[in-house]
Chains A and B, each alone.
Chain A
């Protein structure tokens, strides 16, 4: 395929993926915004007022970055895992597999769909947070970079989950038993400095901690993790997962006989 044909093909996947979740916006866009708004009300306002400040920020201000990123992570992941597995289940993924589309374009197309939903939900949650706190973004480039890179990373993870999945149960196991615990234990609601030494060290093995802290740095200017460590880890994970997902597509794992 020529470059312009590849661009047309890529655009086709992106539009298709975008329309897929927009068509069912009541299921895909509204619930995460309502859920996070409840977090703001209950944890931020009601309980947070009893907790007091963390550092120089109110508890509400402190939890905003983590909750925004949590919405971004779960929606990027959910979009790709459900769309890709749905295509596999209905076998309409074969429409792409029999076409001359290179596998990296299939990958990038699905990632873009995941990013689109993650970013729309993330921005919606960030907008809702303005009703509860005065947010001044401390560092725009860092905020945007973490926002985009995290979305790419979890879209990739969603594809890998979908490739391995053999049933709809398989696409809920990872989000329920891996993603949610890692996110909640990734410092959304607390600073790891509040933990005993052992748990501080244990938390460093949680990759989500790095993303949430880098995003918190972008929004508030504070982080438990050096920014360089966070970016290095995110980029390393993206490269590894991208190459692995591409390898799975090239070998036809779960897609071809």
Chain B
């Protein structure tokens, strides 16, 4: 069953600005779906329309078969929303924010209290439950919004840049949590500017550009369509002389013990290593250029490496 179906969605704001010029999306039940696009591409407007915070101009939206125009109450019941901006009452304690949110969905107070405890514990906020929301750190506020979005146990969770401004350790723990609830059957739609986040979490992806859906496919297909990949190679010995050329590769010396290789997708890494070996260059380790700093940072946090090895 389709968790979300959007057909030819248009939105023109009263000031004449057209944010959406024909967005089409199909999200299957159980998907972990990435909605990507540059700033102003129309991601937040699309999410606003799905969650009834923005009135659409034209187009059709249905959520788990319920039509947004004629069955808005059912649509709303299916959705949990984590917006981009903090939008809770900062003068309320955390548990009240969750209990009230459950109440708006008609969940009796005694059940709402149990749910609030469950999600506050899962998101490591239980110790802060009686504190005012304004006293939380940025990462805690993000987690509070996720807990609030889950308290009525929605079938579709929409997260609009949930890890923006969150440190790497918390981001990783949020990823694990989101993977877990996705495995439990919650369909998730995620917008993010961290592409590694989308790559790590999502099985399907759509790219919106200037209010139009440019691409919609599964993650593997999209990644396999990449023409080249960049690797960083750490060398065993100091080296100042790179091979003149390696077919399908662009080599770039970073320092005497590190080179960067951009290799076309159709070329084998074996050819590269053979050429390097023939030139007396001994490769100790290799990694994708992306996420390198992130991985080092996490290693330090996990105390796998002494901090002095970071250089």
Contacts and interface: CB of A to CB of B under 8 A. Distances in A.
B103 A97 contact: no
A4 B106 contact: yes
A9 B105 contact: yes
A92 B53 CA distance: 12
Contact of A94 (B74, B83, B103, B106): B83
A87 B89 contact: yes
Given A1-B106, A8-B106, A9-B105, A97 B87 contact: no
A139 interface: no
B44 to A, nearest CB: 10
A2 interface: yes
Contacts of A98: 51-53, 76, 79, 81
Contacts of B100: 12, 16, 95
B53 A8 contact: no
Interface of A is mostly: helix
Interface in B144-182: 148, 152
Interface of A: 1-2, 4-6, 8-9, 11-13, 16, 19, 86-87, 90-92, 94-102, 252, 256-257
A257 B13 contact: yes
A90 B87 contact: yes
B228 interface: no
Interface centre among B55, B104, B148, B152 (most CB of A within 10 A): B104
18 contacts: A4-B106, A5-B106, A8-B109, A9-B105, A11-B109, A12-B100, A13-B103, A87-B89, A90-B88, A91-B85, A94-B87, A95-B87, A95-B100, A95-B148, A97-B53, A98-B53, A100-B104, A100-B105
B235 interface: no
A151 B205 CA distance: 53
Contacts of A86: 89
B140 interface: no
A92 B81 contact: no
Interface string B88-110: 11100000100111011111110
Contact of A257 (B55, B74, B89, B99): B55
Contact of A92 (B76, B89, B105, B109): B89
A90 B106 contact: no
Contacts of B48: 257
Contact of B104 (A4, A12, A19): A12
B87 A99 contact: no
Interface string B103-127: 1111111000000000000000000
A99 B101 contact: yes
A99 B55 contact: no
A96 B89 contact: no
Contact of B105 (A5, A13, A87, A97): A5
